[in-house]
Amino acid sequence: MSERSDSVVHVVGQVNHVVLVIEKTILVVLMVGMLIFGFLQVFSRFILKAPIGWSEELLTYSFTWASFIGASAAIYTNSHFSVDLLTKHFSPKVLKGARVFVWALICIFSLFLVVMGTRLTIANTIQRMNILPISMMWAYLSMPIAGLFIFIHSIEKTMEVILNIEPEPLEDDE
């Protein structure tokens, strides 16, 4: 590997790591928030007999954000399921081509998420949530942001396959 490609891989890896830290932070905040709002909803509904209307709406959109951001983080950690029934019989050269093809499709799909998510976000800036006085733009913004994160992760994964780089083992954050 040349010095230039080595530096590009290093920069992409650094950006990818920063994105992962951002994703983990967002996910922790969302999960803690969902836990608190879910507890408040259950407590107010069954103990106080007066449900809090906004908590259900906040839980729904928090779950949406957590789903998109979690899917992006799973790209980084290769946590999505895969079926290797067919590919385990491929030769190394064909397997490499198939992996490049799959990562290229993921890149294209992530760009689709960015473009269409941005369109939806812009189209829904005026619309308000049912109960909360917040623009629906914030709910739809999860799609282009996750698409961008997925694109960044998939670029690194594609480079790893093309350049025959073994992915670094993930650190355990315990």
- Rg for the chain (alpha carbons), in Å? 20
3-16: average pLDDT: 84
Tell me the pLDDT tens digit for each residue of 119-137: 999 999 999 988 889 999 9
Is residue 131 within 8 Å of 57, Cβ to Cβ? yes
N-terminal to C-terminal alpha carbon distance within the chain: 34
Q: Which two tokens stand for residue 39?
A: 């507890």
Query: Given this model, what pLDDT does residue 80 score?
Result: 83
**pLDDT given for residue 8 in this prediction:** 85
Q: How far apart are CA 19 and CA 72, in angstroms?
A: 10
Q: Across the chain, what does the average pLDDT equal?
A: 90
Which tops the pLDDT comparison, 6 or 169?
Answer: 6
DSSP per residue over 58-91, as a string? HHHHHHHHHHHHHHHHHHHTT-S----TTGGGS-
Instruction: Please name which of 8, 6, 26, 29 lies closest in space to residue 18, comparing C-alpha atoms.
Output: 26
Lowest mean per-residue pLDDT among 40-49, 55-64, 77-86, 92-101: 77-86
> What is the predicted pLDDT for the residue at 170?
59
Q: What is the mean pLDDT of residues 116-120?
A: 97
Q: Both tokens of residue 63?
A: 């779950």
- Tell me the whole-structure pTM to 2 decimals: 0.88
Return the pLDDT at 103. 94
Instruction: Please say if the pLDDT value at position 14 is more than 80.
Output: yes
Q: Which pLDDT does position 172 carry in this prediction?
A: 54
Q: What pLDDT does 50 receive?
A: 87
SS3 50: coil
What pLDDT does 174 receive?
43
Nearest to 54 by CA among 158, 128, 147, 141: 128
Q: What is the mean pLDDT of residues 26-44?
A: 94
Q: Is the pLDDT of residue 59 over 50?
A: yes
Identify whether the C-beta of residue 151 lies closer than 8 Å to the C-beta of residue 110: yes
